[in-house]
Every structure is written in structure tokens, then in C-alpha cells.
Chain A
Amino acid sequence: EDKVVQSPLSLVVHEGDTVTLNCSYEVTNFRSLLWYKQEKKAPTFLFMLTSSGIEKKSGRLSSILDKKELFSILNITATQTGDSAVYLCAVDNTDKLIFGTGTRLQVFP
């Protein structure tokens, strides 16, 4: 059965800290891995990763995929209170997205 596992489930940090969120997967017909940020409602797109070893960056956020070991990490440097959210990892198996349970990040001033 296809599955996506995220860790940790929850993370509490202070502003300025750096965090690493993990996502491992076992999915047939892998096409891509996506990271989303979910605050109150809709998941908002962060990154799509298809190739191993190529880091994607957007400001203080970066992500990388390892297709051999079947995992991805999402890094956030110099965290801010506005980074507080649930971060979702999802794998596209060509038919649909399979989501992990998410990592709830809380950033305190």
C-alpha cells in the first residue's frame, strides 16, 4: 500500500531557529514529491521535486529529494512567526496525490 510518512508530527521553535522537516515514502509509479504549507484552509504550493539531489530554494525555504533512499527534507532557516503552519508532504503517483499527516510547526517570538 502506498504511504507517505512525515516527521516530526509537531515542532516548537523560537524565531531565528532553523528547522528540518522529513518526509519518507513508499509509492508505486512515483512522479513527483510536493511540499505544501497549510495555515487555515487550503494547502499552498511550496515545491515540486522530481529529481534526486537538486535543491530547490525559495527565500528561507529549501528542499531536496533522495529517490534512492525515498525521502525528502524541507529546511526553513531563520524561522519567523509567520512560518507557523502545518507542512504537508505529498507524492504524486501519476493518478493522485498521497499525503502524509503533516508536521505542525509553531514558531514563538
Chain B
Amino acid sequence: EPEVTQTPSHQVTQMGQEVILRCVPISNHLYFYWYRQILGQKVEFLVSFYNNEISEKSEIFDDQFSVERPDGSNFTLKIRSTKLEDSAMYFCASSEFLPQALTNYGYTFGSGTRLTVV
């Protein structure tokens, strides 16, 4: 079964440092997403990406965050200057939805990167 893969599985970083979280979405998927889940809280949307540009972003996704699809397979989330409150599990997801069509898949999530900012 196709998978979304994320690396690293766990990253510890010092406050103020830049981090890059990496994701390889499912190859025929068109839409890519980042979500995060702070420990004990609900999963929250960060950003969606389609056709090489951001299609929507949440209030959480401020100027410190950026996304990129540098080579047609990887999808990265960069946090420029991490804060303590950025500590969370970050999930990448992809879907093959087109705006006018639905499949039976839903979104496929990666296994997540646990980011710990100290």
C-alpha cells in the first residue's frame, strides 16, 4: 500500500534554530498538506499546497514557516527560528483529490516528525 514517508521521526533543536521537516508524498497525489498536533491537543491544519503554490494556510502558518517542493518528490516544511511552542508532532499528508472529483481514499498521513524545541 502506498505510503507517505517523513524524516526524521524525531528532531530536537534549540530555540531560535532553523529546522526542515521532510516528506515524500504518494507519487500520484496532487495535494500536499502539513498538520501539527501539540501533545494532548487536536490535530491542526497548517498549510495546503497544490500546483507548486500554497492554496491555503492557517493563522499558525506565519512568516516563520515556509513550504517547498524542491524536486518534484520531496515536500518540506521549514521553520526559520523555532520557538518552544513549536514543539509538536508534525504530520505531512497527501491526497489525490481534484476540486471536482472525489475518490474513496481520503487523505494519507505520514507517521509524523516529533519536534522538540529546547
A and B interact: yes
Q: Identify the closest chain A residue to B99 (Cβ).
A: A94
Q: Determine the distance from Cα of A100 to Cα of B55 in the docked complex, in whole angstroms.
A: 23
A-B pair number, CB within 8 angstroms: 55
Q: Determine the distance from Cα of A32 to Cα of B104 in the docked complex, in whole angstroms.
A: 10
A95 and B56 within 8 A (CB): yes
Q: Determine the distance from Cα of A48 to Cα of B101 in the docked complex, in whole angstroms.
A: 14
- Which residues of A have CB within 8 Å of B48? 95-96
17 pairs, CB–CB < 8 Å, chain A vs chain B: A34-B106, A34-B107, A36-B109, A41-B89, A41-B111, A41-B112, A42-B111, A43-B91, A45-B106, A48-B104, A95-B55, A96-B45, A96-B56, A97-B35, A97-B107, A99-B42, A100-B42
**Nearest 9 interchain pairs by C-beta:** A96-B45, A99-B43, A42-B109, A95-B56, A48-B106, A42-B111, A45-B106, A41-B111, A34-B106
